[in-house]
Amino acid sequence: MIDLYTWTTPNGRKASIMLEEVGIPYETHAVDIGKDEQFKPEFLKISPNNRIPAIFDRDNNFSLMESGAILLYLGEKTGKLLPTDKLKRFRVTEWLMWQMGGIGPMLGQVHHFVKYNPGKAPYAEERYLKEAHRLYGVLDKQLKDHEYVAGDYSVADISIWPWISRYEWQTVDLNKYPNVKRWYVAIANRPAVQKGYHVPKKVQEIPMP
């Protein structure tokens, strides 16, 4: 049994989608980051960086923060969505790191400047939008010859998909990235994704291009 501490954001959805995909029982604890609940001392004990998602594994009393680490942990624990072959695993890790270091931080800045504070910092809007389109281009190229990002459907796809699901916030037209669009729709149609997306609560339907 896993305790999942999460909210309705791309990083949070990575963890809930993974838990649905691997089929481990879990109990959800909503951490409303709009109400600063991520700073509560009980939560800081398992997530010292005051960010969601975080998990607590009751099987071994182990807590973990950072969505990328959580995906790897659950993949390792269940033997699912993370290859055992060393080189295949590094390919998955490569794209997971690409998400953690690029897609997450850059698209997060697009949300901050373009969606929530338009007009306040034109240089930042231009810079992060340019970087967003560069990253969409890289993803589109990779998906041209690969059905999924790093071989079979894996934690790498699960890490990237929730960020792409905010393509409207990013003012990105998915028709300009046809391979990303094909991949996005295929993953959106997975039953586990449709369940995990609405954890800890439903705020909207999954955006469909």
Query: Judged by CB under 6 A, which stretch of 49-57, 85-93, 161-169, 200-208 contacts ligand GSH?
Result: 49-57
Rounded to a whole number of angstroms, the minimum distance from the CB of residue 72 to ligand GSH is 12
Query: Judged by CB under 6 A, which stretch of 47-55, 111-119, 120-128, 188-196 contacts ligand GSH?
Result: 47-55
Which residues, at least 6 apart from 122, have a Cβ–Cβ distance to it below 8 Å? none
Q: Does 8 interact with ligand GSH (rule: CB under 6 A)?
A: no
15-28: burial string, b at 16+ Cβ within 10 Å, e else: bbbbbbbbebebeb
Query: Judged by CB under 6 A, which stretch of 5-13, 72-80, 84-92, 115-123 contacts ligand GSH?
Result: 5-13
Which residues, at least 6 apart from 118, have a Cβ–Cβ distance to it below 8 Å? 125
Q: Does 50 interact with ligand GSH (rule: CB under 6 A)?
A: yes
The CA distance from 137 to 133, in Å, is 6
Rounded to a whole number of angstroms, the minimum distance from the CB of residue 168 to ligand GSH is 17
185: Cα separation from own chain's centroid? 16
Closest C-alpha among 51, 8, 4, 5 to residue 201: 8
Q: How many CB atoms lie within 10 A of CB 165?
A: 19
Q: Does 38 interact with ligand GSH (rule: CB under 6 A)?
A: yes
In order of 136, 163, 177, the CA distances from 112 in angstroms are 18, 14, 23
Show contacts with ligand GSH in window 64-83 (CB under 6 A): 66-68
Rounded to a whole number of angstroms, the minimum distance from the CB of residue 175 to ligand GSH is 27
Rounded to a whole number of angstroms, the minimum distance from the CB of residue 29 to ligand GSH is 13
Q: Does 33 interact with ligand GSH (rule: CB under 6 A)?
A: yes
Size of the site for ligand GSH (CB under 6 A): 13
The CA distance from 117 to 103, in Å, is 20
**Where does this chain bind ligand GSH (CB under 6 A)?**
9-11, 33, 38, 50-53, 66-68, 104
